Amino acid sequence: MARKCLIAKSFMKKPKYSTRNHSRCPICGRPRGFLRQFNMCRLCFRERALRGEIPGVKKASW
């Protein structure tokens, strides 16, 4: 419960300085492993890429 509260707080409040802004995954709230290009964490990205929900992304194989 405390984690969800922290996530909700960080989304609501705008930081005093723009450099203090910390990106979090909007799906799961994970603060680490964030991919800016897709606006989600690496775990959510991988999950959706394997399901084919992200256009233009496919699993690498060689």
Give me the DSSP letters along 2-45: HHHHHHHHHHHSPPSSGGG-----TTT---SSEETTTTEEHHHH
Structure tokens at 41: 């964490």
Q: 5: annotated binding-site residue?
A: no
Q: 44: annotated binding-site residue?
A: yes
User: Binding site, residues?
Assistant: 25, 28, 41, 44
Residue numbers in the known binding site for Zn(2+) are: 25, 28, 41, 44
